[in-house]
Amino acid sequence: MTIAYTKSFDAYVVAALFDSLDEPIVALADGRVIFPDLDAAFDSHPNAGILAAVIHPTGLGIVTGGDDGRVVWTTKDSGPIELAAHKGAWIDSIAAAPEGQTIAYAAAKKVYVLDLLSKAQRVFTHDHSVSGLTFDPKGRKLYCATYNGVNVWFSRIAEQKPQKLYWAGSHTGIAIQPAGDFLITAMQENALHGWRLKDSKDMRMGGYPAKIKSIHFFAKGKLLATSGANGAVVWPFLRANGPMGEEASEINPQDGAMVTVVSGAAEETLLAAGLDDGRVWIAELQSTGIDWVKAEKGAAITALSMSNEANRLVFGDEEGFVYIYEGEA
């Protein structure tokens, strides 16, 4: 259980992810994509910055959006492959649907869906800018976080009017429960909002001291972790009503520090959090044990992910340091 890899890339770490082979991939603000296990780097967005990244629907490589208006798929074998380009646009939100084999990305008020099976492209236009995207588990519906709620589109239908999940205010991030029963958004204010999708019943989840920039379902979708507080905030989704009527728990709060990013194990009650003072911890929630993965303070942690086997963490900070921690599955 140790830090097995440390390297400085001198660029803000935008995303740190694991692909389906449990190989780490890192996206940097200067346009580079890094494969730490291979010590390989690709200039996926030359002379531009990466704004958003997700693992490709095939599970291999990473799809990035940049301030150059380009959407690029980078794999360790093929390097960068341009999927789309929109001159003058910023691509700052991307989602992928492995089962549907589709990619969605937002450019201001328009959301584009690339169908990898049919090679078709669909465009969904909104009244306001779109700040977050997620597909349902089957890839059939696309949820777009925007002003005053979420627009819901069928991802493979060209001409349609979206369903609207309404809540006043600006919705800046989005996550869907793995079973597809609940949808959660982060608000511009210090709160979450949620909907039970079978009947659109909604809920406000507040009490945060800061804006919420990281939302992650884990433990088979029974728990939701977020940033935005001194500790990781965990909401229960154990019953049919989800968190309605339930209280959140704050895990390992630290005086003078805020959690910036969270990531949990898909199947287990294992949760990791990165802080704005550079520290990283991991907790097994059923045993209440806390291990400090990185106890030394430093630059704020900006990206963090747990591997599919829950035995590795990859994380990075705003100064460009990337770390890989190896523990026990």
Looking at the DSSP bridge assignments, the partners of residue 176 are 183
Name all domains of the chain by residue range, CATH numbers in brackets: 208-329 (2.130.10.10)
Phi-psi region of 79 (alpha: psi -120 to 50; beta: other; left: phi over 0): left
Closest CA relative to residue 216, chosen from 163, 168, 252, 269: 269
Residue 157 is classified by DSSP as -
What's the token pair of residue 115?
């169908």
State what percent of residues in the chain have pLDDT above 70: 99
Torsion of CA 202, 240, 290, 14, to 10 degrees: -40
Q: How far apart are CA 174 and CA 105, in angstroms?
A: 13
Q: How far apart are CA 242 and CA 196, in angstroms?
A: 8
Q: How far apart are CA 64 and CA 303, in angstroms?
A: 15
Give pLDDT tens digits for 42-91. 999 999 999 999 999 999 999 999 999 999 999 999 999 999 999 999 99
| Count of beta carbons in the 10 Å neighbourhood of residue 7 | 14
What's the token pair of residue 173?
């991030």
Q: Output phi, psi for 196, to 5 deg.
A: -85, 115
Contact call for residues 221 and 206 (beta carbons, < 8 A) = no
Give pLDDT tens digits for 238-290. 988 899 888 999 999 999 999 999 999 999 999 999 999 999 999 999 987 89
